[in-house]
Structure 1
Amino acid sequence: MSQHFPEVQKGGSLIVAWQIKDKHVLVVGGGEVAAGRILHALNADAKVTVVSPATGLNAEVAFRVSEGQISHIDRTFEPTDLEGADMVLCAIDDPEASTRVWKLCKEKKIPANIADVPPECDFYFGSVHRDGPLQVMVSTNGNGPKIASMVRKTIAETLPDNMGASIENVGALRKKLREIAPNAEEGPKRMKWMSGVCEKWSLGDLTQMTEEDMDRLLTHYKSGKIPSLSEVRAA
């Protein structure tokens, strides 16, 4: 019997959500591109150090330094700056210096991104839409950043305004569910029940759901039933 499996499409990237909370991210450069990289890292709760002469910091980077959001080394990059780095983001207008940073990162096996030089990148930055816990990234694998931005805007325009709030409530409900059904063997049932809630309840219902609604809804978990929001509140 013949079987049909997805066709392999070469040339893509492995798009993953990289958890860098409390990791040390070293940013080489302090201009506009570096500012964007820094914001991405801070949004992911990383510990950021920027190495750049103070005269090379743009207004945004200088602000983050003054507010203590990031650490600053006031000079040009030196190899010793890589000590303790978990990730390196290089954004300087000096191809030779950038390649030198890249080669040092390769030697030390530190993942790095060299801005605007795809061959010298372990990973790319896509165009990201953010709404609370929701993150949607569009990547063109380094071929067309502007196109990625256009696609991201098109996708964002189709999403409901309350999507982020509904996801936050679903996350809170999942946490409460794990507290009342913590055992590993409950895993499949938890997943099935939560999926049922997301499918049966509208985004508007999920957004309106209060903590009291969650507690009442969870009383139905054991039976496997999924009442509507109106039924939960009527009870």
Structure 2
Amino acid sequence: MENQLFPVFFKLNRLHVLVVGGGNIGLEKAQAMLQNCPESNITIVALDFLPELEEIARRYPNVELIRKPFSCGDLLGKDLVVAATNDHALNYTIWEKAKGSKVLINVADTPELCDFYLGSIVQKGNLKIAISTNGKSPTVAKRLKQVLQDALPDTLDDVLNKLYIIRDKLKGDFTAKVKQLNNITDVLVKPNH
């Protein structure tokens, strides 16, 4: 079956994410979110935390560490949940409670329990490309990330900024503006002669 995922980009500064797990997986997920949005609102619940997570909580004011076992009340006011423990039974319990609370959840390394995936991300300034293999091979996604990161020029953000200025100065209705922008950017997709 082909990949039927619908890609979206969350504004994590407007949402509240719960991460359950203070070990390597929780650290990896928190770092990924903060790398993409340093103003992410993240609450991490665990019995113990890696020193790196404690450092993150000191550096990022919107990251809160709560040292306690997971409970249903942790889901209150949360928009997304990441179950990042190495305890499969606990991860399943978190999944059950999240589904009962209508909160979207990602259970690390358990694709069948995920409402969403945290894909590999390529970023060049304001351009952000997310890569998904539908949970089949995160390794392939990481390799493609490397290829695209190297292939896309660093000056791409300058192009985006200039096109943004041009777009604001264009006259006409939406259709006319789209046509003009398509003509301007046609050079980006034409093969070199």
TM-score w.r.t. the length of structure 2 is 0.85
Higher relative contact order (CA 8 A, sep 6+): 2
1:113 aligns with 2:106: yes
Which of 2, 16, 29 in structure 1 is aligned with 2:21? 29
Deviation digits for residues 136-195 of structure 1 (CA, Å, limit 9, x no counterpart): 222111111112111221222221121123223323433x337xx5xxx71111222222
1:177 aligns with 2:169: yes
Greater helix content:
1
Equivalent residue, structure 1, for 2:174: 187
Equivalent residue, structure 2, for 1:216: none
Secondary structure of the corresponding residue to residue 56 of structure 1: coil
Answer with 187-196 or 119-128: which moved more: 187-196
Equivalent residue, structure 2, for 1:48: 42
Secondary structure of the corresponding residue to residue 124 of structure 1: coil
How far the C-alpha of 1:21 sits from its partner, in A, is 3.6
Q: Distance in 2 between the 1:63 and 1:82 partners? A: 24
Amino acid at match of 1:84: G
Q: 1:29 to 1:172 in 2, by over 3 A?
A: farther
How many residues end up aligned between the 2 structures?
186
Runs of 5+ in structure 2 lacking a partner? none
How far the C-alpha of 1:122 sits from its partner, in A, is 0.5
Runs of 5+ in structure 1 lacking a partner? 1-8, 203-235
Mapping for residues 108-147 of structure 1, pairs under 5 Å: 108-147=101-140
Q: 1:173 to 1:21 in 2, by over 3 A?
A: farther
Q: Distance in 2 between the 1:154 and 1:40 partners? A: 19
Equivalent residue, structure 1, for 2:58: 66
How far the C-alpha of 1:130 sits from its partner, in A, is 1.2
Q: Distance in 2 between the 1:35 and 1:170 partners? A: 37
Cα RMSD for the two superposed structures: 2.3
Equivalent residue, structure 1, for 2:75: 82
Amino acid at match of 2:21: G
TM-score w.r.t. the length of structure 1 is 0.71
Q: 1:29 to 1:168 in 2, by over 3 A?
A: farther
Q: Distance in 2 between the 1:27 and 1:107 partners? A: 17
Which of 132, 149, 152 in structure 1 is aligned with 2:142? 149
